[in-house]
Amino acid sequence: MTAENLALSPELLEAVRRISGTEHLLVALDFDGTLSPIVDRAEDARPLPRSAAALAELAELPRTTTALISGRALDSLRLVASPPANTLLIGSHGAEVWLGEGSLGLELDEDQRKKLAAVREVLAEIVNIAPGTVLEDKPAGVVLHTRMADDDVAEDAVEAATRVLSEHPGVYLKTGKRVLETSVVHASKGEAVEFLRQATGATAILFAGDDVTDEDALGRLMGDDVGIKVGLDFTQAQYRVEAPVHVAELLEALLRERRRVTSPA
Ligand SMILES: [Mg+2]
């Protein structure tokens, strides 16, 4: 073992070697807290350069598909992630899908648009009385961010929003780190992983993510798949790394192995 991969457990390195031998590999990654460190202002997030470089090279390998599965709206994801051109993109926790040129954008129906407006009204009232909380509009939902608010204010705001919006049928709620996500489209990262497995014909998936919503994806993994939790929170993942910097090491290890398998010398 070399110094640079000390942070990865021998079990994880073995899993990386094993999955690299699969026929068609799908590398599906969360963005914030996984490729990028968590930052105060969402627009400031950028992938760690080493992760971005490894992902770009993985994207070029034969029989290898790369994908980002994010809670962000697709536009926001593109802006901060600058993904390799052939990387598949799933935004809004699965509500938005981009599989290359010609992919159709998300269209809400009349009922969903009305629900979205009602959700926005509820959350705007809460933000008005909860200093430090802010809203973010997404194509299928509105997000309540509480990262900049005091702990008790943040807690009260999320509690109030959850209480009121639980009464709205067809509005789906997800709690993340200092964030309450609402959506008028039912979607999850678990469904996104399933969808990508079908769409790409992947024979194994390597997925890494740091947040609660990533557990949906981790829960859909099976067989030869490899699931990695980033961070120390509870998880059902088989493997764990501590921080985005270790994701960089993981992707570099995966790149070395996968390149060896797909491009024989
Ligand atoms: Mg994340």
The reported pLDDT for the residue numbered 2 is: 45
Residue 262's pLDDT is 95
For ligand 1, a single-atom ion, the residues with CB < 5 A are 30, 32-33, 210-211
Residue type, 265: A
145-157 pLDDT per residue, tens: 999 999 999 999 9
Encoded amino acid at 102, one letter: G
In the chain, where the domains are located: 3-105+187-262, 110-183
Q: Which CATH superfamily is domain 110-183 in?
A: Trehalose-6-phosphate phosphatase related protein; domain 2 (3.30.70.1020)
Domains 3-105+187-262 and 110-183 share a fold: no
Q: Determine if residue 231 is left, alpha or beta; phi over 0 gives left, psi from -120 to 50 gives alpha, anything else beta.
A: left
- What pTM was estimated for this model as a whole? 0.89
Q: Is 53 exposed, middle or buried (0-12, 13-18, 19+ CB in 10 A)?
A: middle
Residue in 237, 220, 216 with CA at minimum distance from that of residue 228:
237
Q: Can you tell me the distance from the alpha carbon of 4 to that of 134, in angstroms, rounded to the nearest whole number?
A: 39
Superfamily holding 3-105+187-262: HAD superfamily/HAD-like (3.40.50.1000)
Cα of 8 from ligand 1 centre, angstroms: 19
Ligand 1 mean position, distance from CA 153 (Å): 23
Q: Kindly give the distance from the C-alpha atom of residue 169 to the centroid of ligand 1, in angstroms, as a whole number.
A: 27
Q: Which residues contact 133 (CB under 8 A, 6 or more apart)?
A: 126, 127, 144, 145, 146, 148, 149, 153, 154, 157
SS3 helix, strand, coil % of the chain, rounded to 5? Answer: 40, 20, 40
Strand, coil or helix: 241:
strand
CA of 209 to the centre of ligand 1 (A): 6
Q: From ligand 1's centre to the CA of 176, what distance in Å?
A: 9
Q: What is residue 237's predicted lDDT score, i.e. its pLDDT? A: 97
pLDDT at 219: 97
CA 263 to centroid of ligand 1, rounded, Å: 32
Per-residue pLDDT of the chain (265 residues; tens, 9 = 90+): 444 445 799 999 999 999 999 999 999 999 999 999 999 888 999 999 999 999 999 999 999 999 999 999 999 999 999 999 999 999 999 999 999 888 888 899 999 999 999 999 999 999 999 999 999 999 999 999 999 999 999 999 999 999 999 999 999 999 888 899 999 999 999 999 999 999 999 999 999 999 999 999 999 999 999 999 999 999 999 999 999 999 999 999 999 999 999 986 6
Between the CA of 33 and the centroid of ligand 1 the distance, in Å, is 4
Ligand 1 geometric centre to CA of 10 (Å): 24
CA of 55 to the centre of ligand 1 (A): 17
